[in-house]
Amino acid sequence: AQSVTQPDIHITVSEGASLELRCNYSYGATPYLFWYVQSPGQGLQLLLKYFSGDTLVQGIKGFEAEFKRSQSSFNLRKPSVHWSDAAEYFCAVGEEGNKLVFGAGTILRVKS
Amino acid sequence: EAQVTQNPRYLITVTGKKLTVTCSQNMNHEYMSWYRQDPGLGLRQIYYSMNVEVTDKGDVPEGYKVSRKEKRNFPLILESPSPNQTSLYFCASSAFAASGNTIYFGEGSWLTVV
The arithmetic mean of pLDDT across residues A90-104, rounded, is 90
Q: How many CB atoms lie within 10 A of CB A48?
A: 18
Distance from CA of B48 to the nearest CA of A (A): 8
d(CA A65, CA A47): 10
Q: Hey, what long-range contacts does A79-84 have (CB within 8 A, 24 or more apart)?
A: A79/A18, A80/A16, A80/A17, A80/A18, A81/A13, A81/A14, A81/A15, A81/A16, A81/A17, A81/A18, A81/A19, A81/A108, A81/A110, A82/A15, A82/A110, A83/A15, A83/A110, A83/A112
What percent of chain A is modeled with pLDDT above 90?
79
Instruction: Calculate what percentage of chain B has a pLDDT beyond 70.
Output: 100
Provide, as residue numbers in chain B, all residues whose Cβ is less than 8 Å from the Cβ of A32.
99-100
pLDDT at B64: 98
Element (H, E) at B12: strand B10-13
Touching check for B104 and chain A: CB below 8 Å? no
- Gap from A80 CA to chain B (nearest CA, Å): 26
DSSP B13-73: E-TT--EEEEEEESS--SEEEEEEEETTTEEEEEEEEEETTEEEE-S--TT-EE--SSTTB
pLDDT tens column, B80-114: 999 999 999 999 999 987 777 889 999 999 999 99
Find the chain A residues whose C-beta atoms sit closer than 8 A to any C-beta of B: 4, 9, 32, 42-44, 46, 51, 90, 92, 94-100, 102-105
Contact A102 B42 (CB under 8 A): yes
Most B-contacting residue of A44, A98, A99, A107 (CB-CB within 10 A), to test interface: A98
User: Nearest CA to CA, how far is B79 from chain A (Å)?
Assistant: 25
pLDDT at A95: 84
pLDDT over 80 at A43, yes or no: yes
Instruction: Please state the rounded mean pLDDT for residues A56-79.
Output: 96
- Give A103→chain B minimum CA distance, Å: 6
Taking the C-alpha atoms of residue B102 and residue A7, their distance in angstroms, rounded to an integer, is 26
Asked if B52 is an interface residue toward chain A (Cβ–Cβ < 8 A), one would say no
For residues B66 and A90, give the distance between their C-alpha atoms in angstroms, rounded to a whole number: 26
Predicted local confidence at residue A71, as pLDDT? 94
| Side chain identity, residue B64 | Y
Identify which of B88, B113, B110, B108 has the alpha carbon closest to the alpha carbon of residue B14: B113
Residues A99 and A80: their CA atoms lie apart, in Å, by 32
Interchain pair A96, B99: CB under 8 A = yes
B28 touches chain A (CB under 8 A): no
